[in-house]
Structure 1
């Protein structure tokens, strides 16, 4: 393994970037949210930045910051997020993951379900408040080393009532001005959006928002849950025959296939559309232990997970542990391509390796922009239930990239060789990179008079501007 010194980490990162560029031109994205409150979970459920594998995602999103009615950003957990007053410096550690994998992009998410909708509505409707939010956001991203912003307003035009609000139009203006504020610095702008047509058409003028977003993360989950009168699965890939009996037509919209087709037909380009998948299931308590088929009655939320501790929700890690310890009956729903399980009067519809493999294949078939995960801490990140950490995330990568990771490399990769042939750093040389004067593919790292020699993979040259290997057509050789 490489030394943990910063110089070697950067060198290692350059190699990873070079290999990633050479090995693939696959444009799929794997966008991973971390719910930062999971660091407070008990026992094996405790999940911190140190548990993130930076090679399994193309984008990592730090969730969440809040928004004030004035337009200012709000740090929700200053002790965890920041270093001030002996804080834990979680944000610094999160962005330091890019030292290991410099192809990784990190974003900060503002909003989320618990932040509500009203404050966003107030800010979006006021030019001065929008300007304050944009200014605050740019400064925060610059100060902490993020690559961009994920706007998670749930949802424009919904969940609040304000006189004369026009969220659907104001959302467009908000995104336009955000993009104008972020673009000069090369910062990314993404958004988490509602999914099903009957909801999305209230919130979004899809053709109007597309130009301002780099990725559109469609939250195609929570399609069914204990709020429904009968049993339903969290995120079915396809609809069922029973859906057609709904006179309102809403049930026919509550599946991944219908959601994706709506967004595409409404004007979202496939390459920007990222399919959100859940790493958790929705639990129910059956009205009768014998009635456990889809569409059966229930009396409300089911059990909580021992880590997440929210009634009606089980993370995959919590469920797989339960299934090792208890006698659950596992079933596969053929029409909808998703699993469910039950034990006595407890019932859960969830995702597993098979269902997520099918969703990833769907993404490839429809040439979508990739997959978004909510959220990392609910995978079996410790490998408690099998021989591999992050089995769900690994399966998604296998399908999208033909590899266990987007770059084909892991944290354990160590294939850089060093030599001093051809060039020697002056004894008084400052630490940094030097490109070979005769061979654009060769470069050196000088450190205290010591020369470390490297070569970009075939077809790539060292770019002094980015200090990484790049396509020769982009390198001034």
Structure 2
């Protein structure tokens, strides 16, 4: 079994960086809500709509968990190839063939999965062990680079008071790390943000020891559950934030709490929303933050959830209807209103400010929830993925982490691969080509451009799998 796992690791190891590409110094962790493939019309977002060059890490959301500790595939028809399924997971991980620097993570959990089953599993050593085994085998089988644990939230949303979720969460992470580490797999987690909630769920120094990436969900800080209208993810506190609790509900307070509590800044990803929270105002005259409301606002044509509008839905709405667009200067976020409808959201300006904040506080990068809510088709008159690109420009000085997309559109030239053989091969083909004189060397051809790779020492390129493999298993 161990030999099979190690061999599988080599098959799924990220390929060497493309010559001339810059390894990103920050992370851009992008979730895809896979159910978005069922959205109607221009809102439909499938794996084929993902630009694999715009993120450093892609997260497949979600799989579930059973009380036994086994993984639960929520949508087998979408996720798997069995019984004529669509094979979404295979397509998702195949994006690494386009961008070999990309990392893919499997997310387990999410808001709809709840907290109870996680609590039951984490409280039982045998079930924890089964969960770890299931996770490692699933990652190995499907070619992910790691796990994103999305338990929302330890110690909350269930009545299992006899379970010590806070300590059990640490034990679960410790055992997951032990199971994933021999294969070089990444362990990340999506975590709650504000102090009054996070202090219930997390022993921050303890979980930081085992997590490679901590995705801080610094959004949903305000919404229709509040008495008055407020913006989803303000960067700083506002004039109406007069109580101790209210002063915790902004990005600056969240990040400072996590750092002051012992989280290494370089492991923290500042989570940002690509959607807004909508309200129905009590009066059309009261439209500033702090105005009274009577509940959730309108739903969008794609997400179809009252109280939520994706940025793609918002920007199209602003084109069709006459909304008043405003900026909250203290909180450094936009809001908009029309008659009795009100929304606090993000735009390119507010997200660039958040990215700059991440740079100034030496955070590990930015986490995005989620890709399908960006203007991914460029329907609002500009470029595709404008929100994501604006973040990248701050973090990397260009609109993607590696610069690969721009390079791969250039004509083939010796400066790219440094190899005339590769250039001649790539004039007539696309995809991977093994060097005819050196089996450990191969090239990626795309539209006439060529990029050179070298397999790790002792391995050669396997043309059957398009991965590096043991030499004695490859016909060379």
TM-score, normalisation: structure 2 = 0.86
**Rounded Cα–Cα distance in structure 2 between residues aligned with 1:326 and 1:319:** 10
* 1:290 counterpart residue number: 285
Q: 1:19 to 1:237 in 2, by over 3 A?
A: same
Q: Which of 356, 360, 364 is the aligned partner of 1:361?
A: 356
State the shift of 1:110 in Å.
Answer: 0.3
State the shift of 1:19 in Å.
Answer: 2.6
State the shift of 1:404 in Å.
Answer: 1.0
Q: 1:446 to 1:229 in 2, by over 3 A?
A: closer
* 2:120 counterpart residue number: 122
Q: Which of 228, 231, 234 is the aligned partner of 1:233?
A: 231
Q: 1:366 to 1:434 in 2, by over 3 A?
A: farther
**Rounded Cα–Cα distance in structure 2 between residues aligned with 1:340 and 1:453:** 46
Q: Describe the SS at the equivalent of 1:406.
A: coil
Determine if the alignment matches structure 1 residue 74 to structure 2 residue 72. Answer: yes
* 2:44 counterpart residue number: 46
Q: Which of 142, 152, 155 is the aligned partner of 1:154?
A: 152
* 1:138 counterpart residue number: 136
Q: Which runs of 4+ in 1 moved over 6 A?
A: 434-437
Q: Which of 312, 332, 338 is the aligned partner of 2:307?
A: 312
Determine if the alignment matches structure 1 residue 413 to structure 2 residue 409. Answer: yes
State the shift of 1:126 in Å.
Answer: 0.1
- Per-residue CA deviation, residues 180-234 of structure 1 (Å, 9 max, x unaligned), is 0011111110000000000000000000111110000000000000000001000
TM-score, normalisation: structure 1 = 0.86
Q: Is the Cα contact below 8 Å between 1:271 and 1:367 reproduced in 2? A: yes
Q: How does 1:20-59 map to 2 (within 5 A)?
A: 20=21, 23-24=22-23, 26-59=24-57
**Rounded Cα–Cα distance in structure 1 between residues aligned with 2:299 and 2:444:** 55
Q: Is the Cα contact below 8 Å between 1:435 and 1:464 reproduced in 2? A: no
Determine if the alignment matches structure 1 residue 61 to structure 2 residue 52. Answer: no
Q: 1:433 to 1:174 in 2, by over 3 A?
A: farther
Q: Is the Cα contact below 8 Å between 2:444 and 2:451 reproduced in 1? A: no
Structure 2 residue runs of 5 or longer lacking an equivalent are: 1-10, 414-418, 426-432, 462-476
Structure 1 residue runs of 5 or longer lacking an equivalent are: 1-9, 425-430, 469-477
Q: How does 1:18-417 map to 2 (within 5 A)?
A: 18-20=19-21, 23-24=22-23, 26-243=24-241, 245-246=242-243, 249-410=244-405, 413-417=409-413
* 1:17 counterpart residue number: 18
State the shift of 1:257 in Å.
Answer: 0.2
State the shift of 1:386 in Å.
Answer: 2.1
**Rounded Cα–Cα distance in structure 1 between residues aligned with 2:64 and 2:444:** 43
**Rounded Cα–Cα distance in structure 2 between residues aligned with 1:32 and 1:103:** 14
Q: 1:454 to 1:18 in 2, by over 3 A?
A: closer
* 2:468 counterpart residue number: none
Q: How many residues align?
A: 432
Q: Describe the SS at the equivalent of 1:410.
A: helix
Cα RMSD over matched residues? 2.6
Q: 1:383 to 1:455 in 2, by over 3 A?
A: closer
Q: Is the Cα contact below 8 Å between 1:106 and 1:146 reproduced in 2? A: yes
**Rounded Cα–Cα distance in structure 2 between residues aligned with 1:37 and 1:466:** 38
Q: 1:445 to 1:118 in 2, by over 3 A?
A: closer
**Rounded Cα–Cα distance in structure 2 between residues aligned with 1:399 and 1:341:** 25
Q: Is the Cα contact below 8 Å between 1:226 and 1:283 reproduced in 2? A: yes
Q: Is the Cα contact below 8 Å between 1:149 and 1:190 reproduced in 2? A: yes
State the shift of 1:387 in Å.
Answer: 2.3
Q: 1:55 to 1:197 in 2, by over 3 A?
A: same
**Rounded Cα–Cα distance in structure 1 between residues aligned with 2:112 and 2:380:** 31
Q: Is the Cα contact below 8 Å between 1:340 and 1:347 reproduced in 2? A: yes
* 1:428 counterpart residue number: none
Which stretch has the larger CA shift, 368-377 or 407-416? 407-416
